[in-house]
Copies of this chain bind each other. A is one copy, B any other.
Amino acid sequence: MDTTKTILIVDDHTLFRNGLKLLLQHYLPDSVIIESSNGEEALLRVTNKMPDIILMDINMPVMNGVESTRKIIEMNPEACIIALTMHGDESYYYQMIDAGAKGFLLKNSKPDDVLDAIKQVCQGKHYFSEEILYSVIRNLNKNDTEIPDIQLSSRETEVLKMICTGLSNQEIGDKLFISKRTVDNHRASLLEKTQSKNTAQLVMYAIKTGVIKL
């Protein structure tokens, strides 16, 4: 690692931020570490001056990591954003890649991995935790036999949300001022697109993909 760098940590957990900051200061004494507690704050921080590296959490209040990454990359496609993920965030991998993240780190990585990632990304390369590569490859195997990516229309998403709250097709129709039969059709489309067999699997899909929040 050569000269002084500015590193922005974006995470909603103060303890995690503070700890990581100390960690980075210890291994990279010349670096300048700044912090933001969510995606929106991060956006404001980078408008004046783009840091050399951004370590971005995914699950955050106000604005999540995916959206924030997307907007930062819009401002500057060269921005070096490394996603900080936990096990369980698998469904966001592709979204983050799509948004323009240059690297992926698991939160249970070793400090060496973080330094490696920063080094690689600063050189214009990409960096992925081994575990993440493994997980992605495992998903690729799945996708051979299953569906790659599903696109739900806005109406379908709307209906899906209502289904999850426990409304019947009749009730959904009443709320949306459309026929129950139309809702039947949307539901059928949802079952087919998500390869679900019934309501239970549909709700599970909605939760796994983040269509609805707990």
Determine how many copies of this chain the complex contains: 2
Residues A200 and B19 in contact in the complex (CB < 8 Å), given A14-B110, A214-B88: no
Alpha-carbon distance A70/B201, docked complex (angstroms): 34
A166 in contact (CB, < 8 A): yes
A196 in contact (CB, < 8 A): yes
Alpha-carbon distance A164/B61, docked complex (angstroms): 28
A7 in contact (CB, < 8 A): no
* Across-interface contacts of A37 in B (CB, < 8 A): 108
Size class of the A contact interface (CB-based, 8 Å): 35 or more
Q: Which of A118-126, A174-182, A203-211 contacts B (4 or more CB under 8 A)?
A: A203-211
Give, as a whole number of angstroms, the nearest-CB distance from A169 to chain B. 11
Alpha-carbon distance A84/B108, docked complex (angstroms): 16
A residues apposed to B, CB below 8 Å? 12-16, 18-23, 26, 37, 61, 84, 86-88, 105-111, 114, 163-166, 168, 196-204, 207-208, 214
Q: Considering the complex of A and B, which 8 residue pairs feature the smallest CB-CB distances, nearest first?
A: A19-B19, A166-B201, A22-B22, A13-B107, A203-B203, A13-B108, A199-B199, A14-B108
